[in-house]
Amino acid sequence: MTTTGGRAGTRAGRHAVAGALLAATPFLCAAAGEPVSGDAHAHHAHLRHDAQAQRAGSYTRSVHFYRVPDVTLVDMAGSRVALASALDAGTPVFLNFIFTSCATICPVMSATFGQVQEQLGPEGEQVRMISISIDPEHDTPERLRAYATRHRAGSRWRFLTGEAADIVAVQKAFDAYRGGKMGHEPFTFLRASAGGPWVRLDGLGSATDLVAEYRRLVAR
Ligand SMILES: [Cu+2]
């Protein structure tokens, strides 16, 4: 139980990892420090080089420059939002892709964003979070509002939807398009400021992991 079965970034493993993470979470503290064993051994050599990844057991970190497409999306109020300006508002930003009817990884990612808000507390006043629906046909602004309420999203956390083609273009720009919502994978993106690189987390990091990644990013 020390790890959750390796890289969550692999397609075959994504739902298994989501389930394993949920099941394993209460035991992570108790299991910490125990030797890695069982089917996790194949990834042991990789994970032990990165204390962050090993502790989480569930994500890998990389850094990228992405060209954000010039698209206008729609927020929870139904207002049009130029994505580039929403991302470039001059403060640190978290970004992920979700859809409201998902029963696998999106509820986990949204719960994590909610916990990140809480863990950051006053420090989070300068942090924005953006969740873009990858199911725009179903995720109307009204549904996004209900979803935001369900996840106790604060004023700094926006949910966006839009035209299907634009949503695909955005996912492709972040190398996050996997052919449709049923093939989606858990990704979280963080950026310290406009024009800077994006930190990409492939997999399901915990809120504590995301906060640590955020602090590492803004401490530079
Ligand atoms: Cu999902």
Q: Which of 24-28, 36-40, 54-58, 140-144 has the highest mean pLDDT?
A: 140-144
Q: Binding site annotation covers 29?
A: no
Residues 36 and 75 in one domain: no
pLDDT at residue number 220: 67
Q: Are 215 and 120 in contact (CB under 8 A)?
A: no
The pLDDT of residue 12 is above 50: no
Q: Could you tell me which residue, 35 or 73, shows the higher pLDDT?
A: 73
Q: Is residue 210 part of a domain?
A: yes
Q: Is residue 5 part of a domain?
A: no
Give, as one character, the DSSP assignment of residue 196: S
CA of 108 to the centre of ligand 1 (A): 8
Residues 147 and 85 in one domain: yes
Q: Could you tell me which residue, 161 or 20, shows the higher pLDDT?
A: 161
Confidence of residue 127 (pLDDT cuts 50, 70, 90): very high
The pLDDT of residue 92 is above 90: yes
The answer, as to whether pTM is greater than 0.85, is no
Q: Is residue 165 part of a domain?
A: yes
CA of 162 to the centre of ligand 1 (A): 17
The pLDDT of residue 93 is above 60: yes
CA of 185 to the centre of ligand 1 (A): 7
Q: Are 52 and 89 in contact (CB under 8 A)?
A: no
CA of 219 to the centre of ligand 1 (A): 31
Across the chain, what does the average pLDDT equal? Answer: 81
Query: How many other β-carbons are positioned within 10 Å of the β-carbon of residue 7?
Result: 21
The pLDDT of residue 8 is above 90: no
Q: How many angstroms separate the CA atoms of 166 and 160, rounded?
A: 11
CA of 39 to the centre of ligand 1 (A): 25
CATH code for the domain of 135: 3.40.30.10
Helix, strand or coil, per DSSP, at residue 69: coil
Q: Is residue 144 part of a domain?
A: yes
- Residue 141 exposure: Cα atoms within 13 Å on the Cβ side: 10
Confidence of residue 89 (pLDDT cuts 50, 70, 90): confident
Confidence of residue 13 (pLDDT cuts 50, 70, 90): very low
Q: Is residue 177 part of a domain?
A: yes
Question: Domain range holding 38?
Answer: 11-57
Q: Examine the fold and report which residue of 19, 42, 57 is the final residue of a domain before the chain moves on.
A: 57
pLDDT at residue number 3: 36
Q: Is residue 1 part of a domain?
A: no
Q: How many angstroms separate the CA atoms of 187 and 167, rounded?
A: 15
CA of 135 to the centre of ligand 1 (A): 10
